[in-house]
Chain A
Amino acid sequence: MAEYEMVIGLEVHCQLATKTKLFCGCATDGFGAVANTRVCPVCTGQPGVLPVLNKRAVELAFQAALALDCKLADVSIFARKNYFYPDLPKAYQISQYEQPFSQHGRLECRLKDGAAKVVRIHRIHLEEDAGKLLHAIGSEELDHSLVDFNRGGTPLIEIVSEPDIRVSDEAYAYLTALREVLIYSGASRCDLEKGEMRCDANISVRLKGAEKFGTRAEIKNLNSFKNVKDALEYEFRRQVEIVESGGKVVQETRLWNAEKMATFSMRSKEEAHDYRYFPDPDLVPLEAKPAWVAALKAGLPELPAARRARLTSEFRLSSYDAEVLTSKKEVADSFLETMKLLAPEDAKALANLMLNTADFSPIDAPRMAELVTLTRRVITVNKAKELYPELRASGKSPKTLVEEKGLAQVSDEGQLREWVKAALAANPQAAADLRGGKERAIGSIVGAVMKLSKGKANPGLVNKLIKEAVNAGA
């Protein structure tokens, strides 16, 4: 069988992290709130209203574009995308069409094997979100539908990639990298559960090595990165089967059904909407004034790639540790903040603590630094990890908590020697092995000491004292 490859382009919608909507003053915190409590005449499309562009949204959009190495257009134009649907109160969405605010960017993604893959960004444009239709209340199906306009008018950017993606893992890596960059740049929180990042995929297949693109299908309703990967793999198989059996892929929009793990035709090219785009006469052209752009560029926070590089060079972390640390911005932020209070040689211990604590989520830097300092001699790293959830929940200082719980590590050699003696006596086999030169046997003796000390024995000293005892012929 001939070898095929997929050609994928992704369209990603991200909600900008503004306090208010794109064209009115309503709050954007309506997710989960009582329906239609974040609305006004403007975002419900009352007669006579006019849109006023949110400057902060533009700044965040520009920041996102700059973070993705895009070129900002000197002037961009808002356009109306006209179609009827009850969640779209003006019956048009204000978007950008012929002149988006930015184009020609690039994003470097890291694949599982560590290789880098560059995906070019075709364009980014600004637009408003639609409202939400409710067809049921709880489990009760309605015989009519309700509309919630809380989300309507929320600022979005749509990021359109070039068709540079060839396998589903690359799509996953691209989305992961995109999410990181957007979060780092401050443009979006990209909370997937709140629908702050949504993806549509365009996919076609062709024989490997072919230059011409096949006919593409657009897949909608992909609400997680895993959905994207699964849908692309399904769609690849579907399209290859069609081509292999001599058929032709038709250009259409398909919906992903995550339960059935399959895509289903939603509308064909013939049924596609004619959106009758035209420049919105209610808005003036958006100018990207050079001084403004320069200030935004200068104010751009450190992006994930730069931060990873810094973690490996400045703090000597492994690239794996750097990768995992930066994958959550708040964790990486906390790492850097805490390191300001610690010595460079503590970096590994701090990273270790952060990466190995279950469901790690940062506390303030002074306490974090204190905790790391305690692991030098007062408590073990394992104790520190155990202690962490309580530390976070209580807000107490690590020292106080350690004292309260009587967890301080025991470094008193007299006490330690007693435990070592008892441990050797209780584990004659291991003691004999150790004397016989089987160094690995020391583990079970250390374990026994730890048990006796309820985990408080200083492990370094314990090791030393066991060796001393064995050498002394104990």
Chain B
Amino acid sequence: MNTTELSAAQIAAQVAAGAITAENVAGDHWARIEKVEPRLKAFVTLLKEPSLAQARAVDVKRAKGARLGRLAGVPVALKDNILLKGVETTCSSKILKGFRAPYDATVVERLKAEDAVFVGKTNLDEFAMGSSTENSAFFPTANPWDTDRVPGGSSGGSAAAVAAGCCPLALGSDTGGSIRQPAAFCGVVGLKPTYGLVSRYGLIAFASSLDQIGPFTRTVEDAALALAVFAGHDPRDSTSAAEPPARALKGLAGDVKGLRIGLPREYFIAGMDPEVEQSVRAAVELLKSLGATVRELSLPHTKYAVATYYLIAPSEASSNLARFDGIRYGFSQRQAQSLEEVYEASRGEGFGPEVKRRIMLGTYALSSGYYDAYYAKAQRVRTLIARDFAQAFKEVDVVAAPTTPTPPFRFGEKTGDPLAMYLSDIFTIPSNMAGNASLSVPCGLSRSGLPIGLQLIGPAFGEGTILRAARALEAAKPFAKIDEMRPSLAA
């Protein structure tokens, strides 16, 4: 048995039962990583020796008769904007090259407490700004289904790693779709929890009012398991909800009989890929055949979401990224002769073009004289978008929609046109604006064999409900196994 085929829940159960050792699990996964990574390039840091040592420690713990955690021996990858103490954390940016995390993120602490094993840090669009992982300052990551195509972004490395069998669980962050869009592109489950459900402490901030950490998994059950482990109140994050994860996960059990699904008109737009539309509608029909009811509805302010997002997210980013100034950590231009030069040269050389573009956008939007017209107004529109959802959830339990307008695109296809790139998040951004629960679950393959994702959106703390719907779909239409993936990786 190759344990790379197993889910996180299966690995943990079998390690706890003594059927397999954590060291074997880690060994299998390292064989897989070493096989696919040269073409995949999902990781910016590999932690082979530390992870093997961690795995052996789990085995020792079991041998001593201690109770093992819920993720015993489960190989986990972390997006490289989440801090793992002692390990370099770069945000795939030159400006953080050499920065070693001085502490563990809260999610990392919680994973450690459940005996998870960290295999590496994954690639991302620099500072999580992008939709293809092409904005990584180091290298692009390939889509395991077609290595000529992007894995999506910004959490492309995490999505690709899970899809390619390098680990059954990886963490990402979602500010405007950075978990769901790459999950859809890579054919895995990706969950963006309700804002506040998961602590942001130790996640390098992009846009603080939108960022949420969430899991990539190959099964819906694993997504629920991961969430149960790392969600929940954290006194170090003032925006973290008092809500216990168990409440958010309520409604996970059972079928979809009587589940009310809404299809928002605004998410089925002219110009979207017909195969995506077809596949999403077919998945909704499948849920209907399982007993769900389906109705159309309207989320009228959806059309403003992208514009609003590109005011709020860059504004917050311009402030969040100001601390990377070449003074205390990361890249510092030592040739500089004055303080101003240290700032200008360190930031000028340390940040890539997309990051600079967004810092400039945000700086402008917050400037005196423009604040009311841009940032303040965007916040008001954001309220309207949230109200759309609140209205919808009076009538339905789940909103179903495509995760992305198209299947994964080719490298370079959109890099010359930032706006086209921004629009690939058009369906995912509204949930970040509203702060509600949302996930992407694979719902089919295009004729050319590329994954397509169904987005299931729930109200705040409605994770249990959307996971239940996703699981019903998963049971009725099993996802492709890793081995069935594109020959480019299987070879």
Complex partner residue of B325 from A51, A82, A84, CB under 8 angstroms: A84
* B355 touches A (CB below 8 Å): no
Q: Using Cβ atoms and an 8 Å threshold, which residues of chain A touch B204?
A: 47-48
* B102 touches A (CB below 8 Å): yes
Q: Using Cβ atoms and an 8 Å threshold, which residues of chain B touch A278?
A: 315-316, 319, 366, 371, 375
Q: Using Cβ atoms and an 8 Å threshold, which residues of chain B touch A92?
A: 319, 322
**CB distance A282 to B366 under 8 Å?**
no
Interface string of A79-93 (1 = CB under 8 A from B): 010101010011110
Known contacts A45-B328, A47-B96, A47-B323; can you find 13 more A-B pairs with CB under 8 A? A47-B99, A48-B204, A53-B238, A84-B325, A91-B319, A92-B319, A276-B318, A276-B371, A278-B315, A281-B208, A281-B239, A281-B316, A282-B238
Q: Using Cβ atoms and an 8 Å threshold, which residues of chain A touch B367?
A: 274, 276
**9 tightest A-B CB contacts, nearest first:** A91-B322, A281-B209, A276-B366, A281-B208, A47-B204, A48-B202, A45-B323, A48-B204, A90-B323
Chain B min CB distance to A242 (Å): 28
Q: Using Cβ atoms and an 8 Å threshold, which residues of chain B touch A84?
A: 322, 325, 343
**CB distance A284 to B323 under 8 Å?**
no
Q: Using Cβ atoms and an 8 Å threshold, which residues of chain A touch B324?
A: 47
Q: CA separation between A284 and B236, bound complex, in Å?
A: 13
Q: Which residue of B lies closest to A42 (CB)?
A: B236
Q: Using Cβ atoms and an 8 Å threshold, which residues of chain B touch A91?
A: 319, 322-323, 325
Sampled A-B contacts (18; CB under 8 Å)? A41-B102, A41-B103, A45-B328, A47-B89, A47-B96, A47-B324, A48-B201, A49-B201, A51-B238, A84-B343, A86-B325, A90-B323, A91-B319, A92-B322, A274-B367, A278-B371, A282-B205, A282-B238
Q: Using Cβ atoms and an 8 Å threshold, which residues of chain B touch A284?
A: 238-239
Chain B min CB distance to A278 (Å): 6
Chain A min CB distance to B29 (Å): 26
* A432 touches B (CB below 8 Å): no
- Interface positions of A from 50 to 86, Cβ below 8 Å from B: 50-53, 80, 82, 84, 86
Given contacts A41-B103, A284-B239, contact A80 B328 (CB under 8 A): no
* B79 touches A (CB below 8 Å): no
Given contacts A89-B328, A281-B209, contact A50 B236 (CB under 8 A): yes
Q: CA separation between A265 and B105, bound complex, in Å?
A: 46
Chain B min CB distance to A316 (Å): 53
Complex partner residue of A276 from B101, B103, B205, B368, CB under 8 angstroms: B368
Chain B min CB distance to A132 (Å): 14
* A44 touches B (CB below 8 Å): yes
* B83 touches A (CB below 8 Å): yes
Given contacts A50-B200, A53-B238, A282-B238, contact A276 B323 (CB under 8 A): no
Interface string of B274-293 (1 = CB under 8 A from A): 00000000000000000000
Which interface residue of A53, A84, A283 has the most chain B CB atoms within 10 A?
A84
Q: Which residue of A lies closest to B339 (CB)?
A: A86
* B235 touches A (CB below 8 Å): yes
Q: Which residue of A lies closest to B362 (CB)?
A: A276
Q: Using Cβ atoms and an 8 Å threshold, which residues of chain A touch B102?
A: 41, 46
**CB distance B322 to A90 under 8 Å?**
yes
Q: Using Cβ atoms and an 8 Å threshold, which residues of chain B touch A147?
A: 327
Instruction: List residues of B whose CB falls within 8 A of some A CB.
Output: 81-83, 89, 91, 96, 99, 101-103, 105, 200-205, 207-209, 235-239, 315-316, 318-319, 322-325, 327-329, 339, 343, 363, 366-368, 371, 375
Given contacts A91-B325, A281-B208, A282-B238, contact A48 B203 (CB under 8 A): yes
Q: Using Cβ atoms and an 8 Å threshold, which residues of chain B touch A277?
A: 366, 371
Q: Using Cβ atoms and an 8 Å threshold, which residues of chain A touch B235?
A: 52
Chain A min CB distance to B91 (Å): 8
**CB distance B315 to A50 under 8 Å?**
no
Q: Using Cβ atoms and an 8 Å threshold, which residues of chain A touch B200?
A: 50
Q: Using Cβ atoms and an 8 Å threshold, which residues of chain A touch B105?
A: 48
**CB distance A80 to B319 under 8 Å?**
yes
Q: CA separation between A281 and B99, bound complex, in Å?
A: 25
**CB distance A50 to B322 under 8 Å?**
no
Q: Using Cβ atoms and an 8 Å threshold, which residues of chain A touch B237?
A: 50, 52
Chain A min CB distance to B318 (Å): 8
Q: CA separation between A412 and B484, bound complex, in Å?
A: 117
Q: CA separation between A50 and B325, bound complex, in Å?
A: 18
Q: Using Cβ atoms and an 8 Å threshold, which residues of chain A touch B375?
A: 278
Q: Using Cβ atoms and an 8 Å threshold, which residues of chain B touch A282?
A: 205, 208, 238-239
Q: CA separation between A50 and B320, bound complex, in Å?
A: 11
Q: CA separation between A44 and B328, bound complex, in Å?
A: 9
Interface string of A14-45 (1 = CB under 8 A from B): 00000000000000000000000000010011
Q: CA separation between A277 and B209, bound complex, in Å?
A: 16
Q: Which residue of A lies closest to B91 (CB)?
A: A47
Chain B min CB distance to A93 (Å): 11
Q: CA separation between A276 and B314, bound complex, in Å?
A: 13
Q: Using Cβ atoms and an 8 Å threshold, which residues of chain A touch B96?
A: 47
**CB distance A52 to B238 under 8 Å?**
yes
Q: Which residue of B lies closest to A87 (CB)?
A: B327
Q: Using Cβ atoms and an 8 Å threshold, which residues of chain A touch B101?
A: 48
Q: CA separation between A277 and B99, bound complex, in Å?
A: 29
Chain A min CB distance to B135 (Å): 18
Q: CA separation between A51 and B235, bound complex, in Å?
A: 10
Q: Using Cβ atoms and an 8 Å threshold, which residues of chain A touch B203?
A: 48
Q: Using Cβ atoms and an 8 Å threshold, which residues of chain B touch A49?
A: 201-202
**CB distance B89 to A274 under 8 Å?**
no
Chain B min CB distance to A279 (Å): 9
Interface string of A252-283 (1 = CB under 8 A from B): 00000000000000000000001011100111
Q: CA separation between A52 and B240, bound complex, in Å?
A: 11
Q: Which residue of A lies closest to B105 (CB)?
A: A48
Complex partner residue of A47 from B83, B325, B343, CB under 8 angstroms: B83
Chain B min CB distance to A78 (Å): 10
Chain B min CB distance to A198 (Å): 23
Which interface residue of A52, A53, A91 has the most chain B CB atoms within 10 A?
A91
Q: Using Cβ atoms and an 8 Å threshold, which residues of chain B touch A52?
A: 235-238
Chain B min CB distance to A292 (Å): 18
Q: Using Cβ atoms and an 8 Å threshold, which residues of chain A touch B322?
A: 82, 84, 90-92
Q: Using Cβ atoms and an 8 Å threshold, which residues of chain A touch B363?
A: 276
Q: Using Cβ atoms and an 8 Å threshold, which residues of chain B touch A276?
A: 318-319, 363, 366-368, 371
Q: CA separation between A278 and B319, bound complex, in Å?
A: 9
Q: Which residue of B lies closest to A280 (CB)?
A: B208
Q: CA separation between A91 and B323, bound complex, in Å?
A: 5
Q: CA separation between A45 and B102, bound complex, in Å?
A: 12
Q: Using Cβ atoms and an 8 Å threshold, which residues of chain B touch A283?
A: 238-239
**CB distance B319 to A50 under 8 Å?**
no
Q: CA separation between A82 and B375, bound complex, in Å?
A: 15
Chain A min CB distance to B232 (Å): 16
**CB distance B327 to A86 under 8 Å?**
yes
Chain B min CB distance to A171 (Å): 30
Q: CA separation between A86 and B346, bound complex, in Å?
A: 14
Chain A min CB distance to B310 (Å): 16
Q: Using Cβ atoms and an 8 Å threshold, which residues of chain A touch B81?
A: 48
Q: Using Cβ atoms and an 8 Å threshold, which residues of chain A touch B201?
A: 48-50
Q: CA separation between A278 and B316, bound complex, in Å?
A: 9
**CB distance A46 to B325 under 8 Å?**
no
Q: Using Cβ atoms and an 8 Å threshold, which residues of chain A touch B103?
A: 41, 46
Q: CA separation between A49 and B239, bound complex, in Å?
A: 13
